[in-house]
Chains A and B, each alone.
Chain A
Amino acid sequence: MEYFVQQLINGITLGSIYGLIAIGYTMVYGIIGMINFAHGDIFMVGAFLALIAFLVLVAIGISAVPIALLLVLLISMALTALYGWTVERIAYRPLRRSFKLAPLISAIGMSIVLQNYVQVAQGARVKPLPPLVRGGYTLFEGNDFAVRLSNIQIIVVATTLLLMAGFSFLVARTRLGRNMRACEQDLKMAALVGIDVDRTISLTFVIGAALAAVAGLMFLLYYGVVDFFIGFLAGVKAFTAAVLGGIGSLPGAMLGGILIGLIETMWSAYFSIEYKDVAAFSILIIVLIFLPTGILGRPEVEKV
């Protein structure tokens, strides 16, 4: 029981990170109907930018952890958003009217570019960061097993909840959110009623990338290591989360993320840690076959 509760806590933490990445997939898919294959690598870039920003802040003498973390968060969100914008501008926007697989192939190319760009710029080695946030609480003990909730886990889940609330507000209540929802329903119609479609799509990428940057920072804090390849697996799992929750649905992305995080953690804890990625990929395949609209998604009708 204690062991199970501990895995539950770990799973929800991991799931929050997946959920933050999944929002980027789900928003882009909702609006322009493409899988932004490079989004996982945007997350990786975000983690790297956070790492570098933190080291720079320490080097110039800002080492109080809360202030440094806040600054790192802002810097990496801003710069990663710029990456998201640039990727859309260079690799996707020119393909808006191309054949249907073109953006996906371009996205795969972009993913390769981002991975190797980071590898060239920062080296292929794993980058360790000593734990910045220590401590935690022991919730309860029993059977020689203490269930612990660490501070970093609290930070991850709290940040995720906060961002989700803010983001839901943005989509539901602001002008930008209304434009985004209009674009999601019908791009052509949205353009006809005077919405700047290109700008809205750009901003969608910017927001998705900023959220991925937060996920990157959380990943960095939680695991303490990053390398240039983390984006691939995290990206595929986050995409699985988006599909599981119902692609195009924001609460679905979060729900899917947490489910994937839980499944992965439980699988590692009770079955075999070697096959945890197999479990994640299998879920993706099973969900797509039996529940292609996801848990909270709408059925999609293909029109001629």
Chain B
Amino acid sequence: MPRESEPNRPPHYIAAVKEAVIAAFVAFGLFALMIGIRTDQGPTGALVITTRFGLLAELVAAVFAGRLAFVLVRRNINLSIDRFMPASAKSAAAGLIPYATAAFLVVALIVPIVFYRDRYLLDLAILIVTYTMLGFGLNIVVGLAGLLDLGYVAFYAVGAYSYALLAHYFGLSFWICLPLAGILAAFAGILLGFPVLRLRGDYLAIVTLGFGEIIRLILLNWQDLTGGPNGIPGIPRPSFFGLPFNASENGFAATFGLTYSATHRTVFLYYLILALALLTNWVTLRLRRLPIGRAWEALREDEIACRALGINTTATKLTAFAMGAMFGGFAGAFFATRQGFISPESFTFTESAFVLAIVVLGGMGSQLGVAVAATVMLGAFELLREFDQYRMLIFGAAMVAVMIYRPRGLVATRAPSVLLSARKDIPAKIVAEARTESSA
């Protein structure tokens, strides 16, 4: 900062107070009407206003204090992570990643055994794994191929409605519909992918957003087929490879000589989605080693360079879209069978933004990061259940904060897919030769 070298600069705390006063003034301007005055519908239907000057004063004071503390702390203390974590500790932490992954996996596997009696926790766990799977799917598109998709929920919807409609009209079972849902969603992905291939990053984002909204609006308005806003009720629940989860004689419990319990199905659903999520993860990891996966990552880094190297960007983008969409479709079919009821309300833009936030917070491209982010976010959401209104507020602010302070995500270790086996030192002679040649 050039200003710091100026002579006769007033002491830093005066500057800090000055900044805090400005921040307080701005805060007052921002909050004066919006917070200071509340509008509500009165008994006659007309709006009446009530003042909340106390709250306004508290908020402005909080901004003043917060800014003051921030400026002073930033000046006096180096808060950067490098200070607390020397390079050796960092590399050690990176070495811990495989163990962390294994530990995470073990925990995920034993959750239903440990919390067998806690229905609430089981449901939360299913939700977390569902979002992890969605995160994995979106990670292929956003994290690997670098295509920002704001309409990912459309594929989730296509999967869910594929299963619901096929079961409703043709009576097909879940196990037949699951692959079909994936295939149909992949087709939707290709359908979207084809026209948008030529678009650059941010245009692409807006188009995918429009596509997501179009799918939702069609589901909402095509009442004859989808039931419109009333949704589709009575979607069949999954069976254990043909054995239904009920108290009948050929049900799951009776066949294995267990006493019937409703928890069996919940546990089964949990392992089902866990298997699907792990499948997604495994496929992603394998794909990353294939030429197509490397092409995705190359595409993310530089599209022009990609084309110059002869990579078929059209095919590369399309496969990324189709792959991501397929896993979204699987997750959608699972969602439909778990809920037993779906309506367009479950597939709004907020849902897309939520999955995107999971991928972003997890660190784009990092599989463990996505799982951790899904757990942290949904866990935080549950903890904040009492402060319902503030949940989304905090979550939006977290997205901004992560972009500013940790743009690589919370778990910022994207393992490189390709590692050079040995580092080669280039002799100074060759470097010098190259220099003279280029300048000549």
Contacts and interface: CB of A to CB of B under 8 A. Distances in A.
Interface of A: 33-35, 45, 48-49, 51-53, 55-56, 59, 75, 79, 82-83, 86, 90-91, 94-95, 98-106, 108-113, 115-123, 125, 127-130, 232, 236, 239, 243, 274-275, 277-278, 281-282, 284-285, 288-289, 292, 302, 304
A292 B393 contact: no
Given A108-B150, A112-B353, A49 B34 contact: yes
B30 A52 contact: no
B351 interface: no
A289 B30 CA distance: 40
B210 A236 contact: yes
A82 B398 contact: no
A284 B210 contact: yes
B395 interface: yes
B399 A105 contact: yes
A109 B397 contact: yes
Contacts of A232: 349
B392 A55 contact: no
Contact of B403 (A95, A117, A129, A302): A95
A285 B211 contact: yes
A122 B389 CA distance: 11
Contacts of B203: 243, 288, 292
B39 A52 contact: yes
B201 A120 contact: no
Q: Which 9 residue pairs spanning A and B have beta carbons closest together? A: A109-B399, A112-B396, A113-B396, A281-B210, A109-B400, A116-B393, A106-B403, A116-B392, A274-B221
Contacts of B29: 79, 82
A171 B403 CA distance: 32
B49 A285 contact: no
Contacts of B200: 302
A99 B32 CA distance: 36
A129 B210 contact: no
Contacts, number: 177
A104 to B, nearest CB: 5
Interface stretch (B120-128, B167-175, B191-199): B191-199
A48 B34 CA distance: 8
Nearest to A55: B49
A240 B34 CA distance: 29
A91 B397 CA distance: 9
B217 interface: yes
A104 B392 contact: no
Interface stretch (B40-48, B236-244, B281-289, B418-426): B40-48
B20 to A, nearest CB: 15
A109 B210 contact: no
A103 B399 CA distance: 11
Given A112-B399, A284-B207, A121 B30 contact: no
Contacts of B220: 274
B347 to A, nearest CB: 15
B19 interface: no
29 contacts: A49-B33, A52-B37, A52-B49, A56-B33, A91-B403, A101-B148, A103-B403, A105-B148, A105-B403, A106-B399, A106-B404, A108-B150, A109-B357, A109-B403, A113-B396, A116-B392, A116-B393, A116-B396, A121-B34, A122-B39, A123-B39, A125-B41, A127-B47, A130-B46, A274-B217, A278-B221, A281-B213, A282-B214, A285-B195
B407 interface: yes
B209 interface: yes
Contact of A112 (B40, B195, B218, B395): B395
Interface in B198-240: 198-203, 205-207, 209-211, 213-214, 217-218, 220-221
Nearest to B404: A94
A53 B210 CA distance: 34
B93 interface: no
B356 interface: yes
Contacts of B21: none
Contacts of A277: 213, 217
Contacts of B210: 236, 281-282, 284-285
A13 to B, nearest CB: 24
Interface in B395-417: 395-400, 403-404, 407
B38 interface: yes
A102 B403 CA distance: 6
Contacts of A75: 33
Contacts of A236: 206, 209-210, 213
Nearest to B393: A116
Interface string B418-440: 00000000000000000000000
A101 B221 contact: no
Given A120-B393, A284-B206, A285-B210, A106 B34 contact: no
B396 A35 contact: no
B304 interface: yes
Given A122-B39, A128-B41, A275 B217 contact: yes
A232 B221 CA distance: 20
Contacts of A129: 47
B254 interface: no
B104 interface: no
Contacts of B311: none
Contacts of B57: none
Contacts of A128: 41, 45-47
A275 B304 CA distance: 38
B202 A35 contact: yes
